[in-house]
Amino acid sequence: MAAQPETQAPLKNPPPDSPRRQKVILDVDTGVDDALAILYALLSDELEVLGITTCCGNVDVDTATRNTLALVELTGKDVPVYRGSANALVRPFAGPVPWIHGDNGLGNAAVPEPSRRPEPEDAAVFICEQVLRYPGEVVLVPVARMTNLARAYLFDPGIAKSVQRIVMMGGAAFCPGNVTPVAEANIWGDPEAARVLFRSGTPITMVGLDVTMRTGLTGDRLNRMDPSRPYTELVQQAVRFYMRAYEEHHAARGAWCPLHDPLAVAVAEDPGLCRTRRCHVDVETSGDLTLGMTVVDARGKPTAPPNADVCVDVDAERFLARFCSRLGMV
């Protein structure tokens, strides 16, 4: 083999099939913080995003799909997008949350019309195919209702042992919920789906409100975002809207928002960002007051073996530094 010239610059992005990159499938309901998570994942040198699947949640599934396609296109990456569930597993979609994410899911910012279409295949089928194609190599990163993943697991229960790990944004272990006093939105929106995953036997890292609420982007960082990047204007408009929504509930923090979904992607990339506690977790699917609660057995002698690594602490500074540098908020 001919020697490489010494002046050759090191490869910034390893080729897509490099074994050094962690294969992931991102599942989203785009959504402002989903948009940030998509950018964080697509701009990573450590992750190989096999595809992005969409679900109802912050917005209906078609809006989530369109937003996702638009964001992927703004990064210039060639990553396929698969439309997924319009409803929860056994419940109708509870409806969007325009007071948090805007009418269009991206804070009413102008979203360019994507030129690409979603792939013809269903999201759950895509997940099954990829897991079977790369047994033991794929990390699933749902940052939305767990509906698409649960449908994949129900469609082919055999994939449970072939998924390397699920790193989910969801749940509230030792802290309050955000939809009800005890339930976090991604679990509350489809508790039956989340239960399928917690009972599946696949290793799970639960990146819940315990840690995501300790991360935060401030308005001054957002204002410093590199104006030359093609997604900067969209991100700034969307996140300003999202910050105003959070300001109503957390006025003391000023212009600020938590980085729920990007943190889950960051943990998939670098598990060392969070301290975890091994626990048994299950999901309440019928309680009047507790629907969607992640029930964590933190007793000294739990009756069931642990099925999840629950994130209980985060190196928020390290994460924020990485997040800001990657998105050009320097």
Per CB under 5 A, 27 contacts Ca ion: no
User: Residue written as tokens 């749940």?
Assistant: 171
178 touches which of ligand RIB, Ca ion, none (CB within 5 to 8 A by kind)?
ligand RIB
- The encoded tokens of residue 172 equal 């509230």
**Catalytic site residue from 33, 190, 260, 261:** 260
Q: Please list every residue from 225 through 264 that binds Ca ion, using CB under 5 A.
A: 261
Q: How many residues sit in the footprint of Ca ion (CB under 5 A)?
A: 6
Helix residue ranges, H only, 189-306: 191-198, 209-212, 219-223, 232-249, 260-269
Q: Which amino acid is at 57?
A: G
Main-chain dihedrals φ then ψ at residue 33, nearest 5 degrees: -75, -25
Main-chain dihedrals φ then ψ at residue 51, nearest 5 degrees: 180, 165
The helix (run of H) or strand (run of E) holding residue 308 is strand 308-314
CA distance 54 to 76: 19
Q: Which is nearer to ligand RIB, 33 or 122 (CB)?
A: 33
45 is catalytic: no
Which residue, 205, 243, 250, is CA-closest to 223? 243
250 is catalytic: no
Closest distance to Ca ion from the beta carbon of 144 (Å): 5
Binding mask 135-174 for Ca ion (x = CB under 5 A): --------xx------------------------------
CA distance 8 to 225: 30
Chain positions contacting ligand RIB, by CB under 6 A: 29, 31, 33-34, 57-58, 143-144, 169, 178, 184-186, 260-261
Q: Which is nearer to Ca ion, 143 or 268 (CB)?
A: 143
185 touches which of ligand RIB, Ca ion, none (CB within 5 to 8 A by kind)?
ligand RIB
Residues with active-site annotation:
29, 260
